[in-house]
């Protein structure tokens, strides 16, 4: 059976599990009164969303994990050379990259779950403090990098048009900062209906194409599962959203995006594929810095930048469409860079 059929099957299964779970989970979240609290710092019209169930990311977490594990196991039984890529010729080492990606995503999702639980059950609107969240994120990330090191992953990285670059111990320092930064960038992007899910769908789609081209079949299946899960979630989350993913979902997706980049030995791909996430994060950093330097002036009408466009009169659907189009353009550029830059 062609591998593309396996990947399509993974995406469809993840979509179905996630979409069907919404039919049961959303009413259950309503019953538990796990409603989103809309803070005053956001656009005033977002108050209409008060009480919409949150923590819906559980839906695509279940869909993605079940599909990825089942898909990998089945292909391991009936397929050949599942994990071998053109830069990673040791199947056992590449194997751990895929499972470690799942572990990284699940661990960050657990941090998000704790944060959401504090918000909706303990009624503390801000959840974990910034220091608590960062400490947990760095702990998870360090554990992830330690696992990679123990199982033989080296400190080299592949950069298109340049080749393999040896970073030594700086590899771990840079990787930790990048992972925590990107995870939080994905978290910040979750501010309007369908935005995070749509962007991550396209990011996963391009990781699927790239990992397939490079020959990383395990990462390809995992990418397909993530893409399918995001699409299944959008059935319930596209405007007007019937459920929010919460930090449970957004931190899981952040961890998964990073895990996929490391699973194909190209963390550098986080720059083009994660460009929109990074713009969201840097818009917050620029806003805060400019506000302090100018004693109260604002660079944007509101940050993250998707709120700036909302304040300019853009609808949520338009913002999602434009941001997704940008993600597709840079996804194509990343794919072409891999094709022409890794020969």
pLDDT recorded at residue 95 = 66
Q: What is the pLDDT of residue 86?
A: 39
Q: Give the domain ranges of the chain.
A: 3-269
What 3-state class would DSSP assign to 85? strand
- What is residue 291's predicted lDDT score, i.e. its pLDDT? 93
CA 99, 102, 108, 111: dihedral to nearest 10 degrees?
Answer: -90
Q: What is the pLDDT of residue 342?
A: 87
DSSP 140-164: HHHHHHHHHHHTT--SEEEETTTEE
331 Cβ partners below 8 Å, 6+ apart? 202, 203, 205, 206, 272, 273
Residue 121: pLDDT over 80: no
pLDDT at position 92: 43
| Structure tokens given for 21 | 């779970």
Half-sphere exposure of 128 (CA within 13 A, CB side): 18
Classify residue 241 by its DSSP letter.
Answer: P
**Predicted confidence band at 127 (pLDDT cuts at 50, 70, 90)?**
confident
- Flag whether pLDDT at 290 surpasses 90: yes
Residue 279 reports pLDDT greater than 90? yes
What is the model's pLDDT at position 272?
Answer: 98
Residue 343's DSSP bridge partners are none
What are the residues facing 157 on neighbouring strands? 165
Answer yes or no: is pLDDT of 88 > 50: no
Tokens read off for 221: 């299946």
Distances 163 to 151, 179, 209, 269 between C-alpha atoms, Å: 23, 22, 20, 13
> Could you read off the pLDDT of 194-244 as tens digits, one per residue?
999 999 999 999 999 999 999 888 899 999 999 999 999 999 999 999 999
Query: Is 314's pLDDT higher than 90?
Result: yes
Please check whether residue 202 is in contact with residue 327, taking contact to mean a CB–CB distance below 8 angstroms. Answer: yes
Q: Which helix (H) or strand (E) holds 248?
A: helix 246-263
Instruction: DSSP letter for 127, please.
Output: -
């Amino acid at each position: 059976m062609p591998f593309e059929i396996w990947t399509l099957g993974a995406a469809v299964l993840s979509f179905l599990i996630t979409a069907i779970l919404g039919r049961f989970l959303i009413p259950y979240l309503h019953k538990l009164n796990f409603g989103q609290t809309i803070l005053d710092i956001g656009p005033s019209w977002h108050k209409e969303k008060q009480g919409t169930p949150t923590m819906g990311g559980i839906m695509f977490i279940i869909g993605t994990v079940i599909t990825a594990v089942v898909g990998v196991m089945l292909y391991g039984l009936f397929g050949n050379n599942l994990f071998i890529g053109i830069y990673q010729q040791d199947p056992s080492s590449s194997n751990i990259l895929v499972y470690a990606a799942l572990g990284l995503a699940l661990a960050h999702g657990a941090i998000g779950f704790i944060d959401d639980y504090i918000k909706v059950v303990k009624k503390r609107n801000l959840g974990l403090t910034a220091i608590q969240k960062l400490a947990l994120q760095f702990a998870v990330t360090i554990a992830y990098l330690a696992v990679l090191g123990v199982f033989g992953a080296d400190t080299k990285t592949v950069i298109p048009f340049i080749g393999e670059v040896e970073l030594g111990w700086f590899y771990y320092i840079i990787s930790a900062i990048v992972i925590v930064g990107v995870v939080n960038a994905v978290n910040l992007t979750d501010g309007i209906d369908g935005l995070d899910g749509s962007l991550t769908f396209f990011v996963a789609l391009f990781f699927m194409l790239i990992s397939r081209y490079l020959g990383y079949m395990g990462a390809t299946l995992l990418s397909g599962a993530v893409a399918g899960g995001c699409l299944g979630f959008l059935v319930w989350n596209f405007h007007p959203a019937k459920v929010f993913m919460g930090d449970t979902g957004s931190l899981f997706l952040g961890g998964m995006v990073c895990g996929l980049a490391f699973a194909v030995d190209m963390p550098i791909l986080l720059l083009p594929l994660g460009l929109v996430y990074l713009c969201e994060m840097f818009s917050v950093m620029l806003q805060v810095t400019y506000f302090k330097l100018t004693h109260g002036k604002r660079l944007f009408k509101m940050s993250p930048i998707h709120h700036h466009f909302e304040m300019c009169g853009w609808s949520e659907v338009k913002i999602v469409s434009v941001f997704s189009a940008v993600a597709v353009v840079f996804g194509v550029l990343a794919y072409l860079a891999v094709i022409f830059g890794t020969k």
